[in-house]
Amino acid sequence: MLACSVMSRIALKSAREIEIMRRAGALVAETFRVLEPHVKPGVTLKELDRLAEEHIRKAGATPAYLGYGPRTNPFPGTICASVNEVICHGIPDSRQLQEGDIIGVDIGVLLNGYYGDACSTFAVGKVRPEVQGLVDATRASLNAALELVKPGARLGDIGHAIQSLAEGRGYSVVREYTGHGIGKRLHEEPTVLHHGARYTGLKLQPGMVFTIEPMINLGRPETRLLGDGWTVITADKSPSAQFEHTVAVTQKGCEILTL
C-alpha cells in the first residue's frame, strides 16, 4: 500500500518533458566545464559562484538554488560549495581554496520550467592519498548505482550498490540527505536513499526522473547542521565527497541527463 501511495505522487515525464530536462541537464554539465579550470588554489568560492551564475543566466536559465528555501533564510548562492568536511549545502563565501582541499560543487538550473541538478567533487591540486581514495570511491559508487537503473529495478538496488561499494572500501554513507525526484519542482517524489537492501523499495518505471547523489565520508556517517541553517558537516570533521547525476528511466535502461 505504501509503494502504491508514493507511486501515485510521482509525475512520470513525457518524451517532450524529458527533452526539456535534457537541455537543462546539458546546461548543468556545461557549467561544470566552465568552472573546472578555475578550481585551483587562491580562488574564492564567491568567484566560482559568480562564474556559474553568469554562465547560467547567459544561457537563458535561472540558478535553481539562489533564493531557494524558507523566506526567512533563503539559500544565498548559485552553487553549493562544500569544502573538505562540508557534506552538502556549503555557502559560497570569501573562503579561498587551498592546495589539498576537495570541493563538492552542486549546480542546479531552471530552464523552460524544468530543473536540472548535479554535483561533482574536485581535488584542488594534489590531495592526500586517503582523500583521493574517498573521491574515487564516491564516484565509483554513483557509477555502480547508475548501471542498475532500468525498468523493473527497485530503489533498494540503487542504495545497496552504493552502500556495498562505499562500506566495502572502508568509508561511510550519509543517511540524512538523499536523492530525489525532479521535474517542474526541484524536489519531487521519490526519495532515493543511498543505502538499503536489494529487491526492496519502489519499482522503477519508464518516465521516472530522479537524482542519485551519494555523500560518502572518510570517517563516521554522523552529520551536523551549522548555525547558518544550510551548511552540513561531518560530525567528526572528516572529509566528505559527493557526486550526483539526474537520470531518466527509459524503456531500455536509463539516460543520464546531466552527463
Tell me the binding residues for substrate: 89, 187
Please report, in range form, the residues annotated as the binding site for a divalent metal cation: 106, 117, 180, 213, 244
CB 204 within 8 A of CB 150: yes
Find how far residue 2's CA is from the centre of its chain.
Answer: 26
Instruction: Detail the residues annotated as belonging to a binding site.
Output: 89, 106, 117, 180, 187, 213, 244
Look at the block and give the residue holding cell 565527497: 241
DSSP state of 37: G
Contact (CB, 8 A) for 47 and 25 = no
Distance CA 30, CA 228 (A): 30
Q: List Cα–Cα distances, 191 to 17, 83, 107, in angstroms.
A: 20, 25, 19
Distance in angstroms (rounded) separating the CA atoms of residues 235 and 224: 5
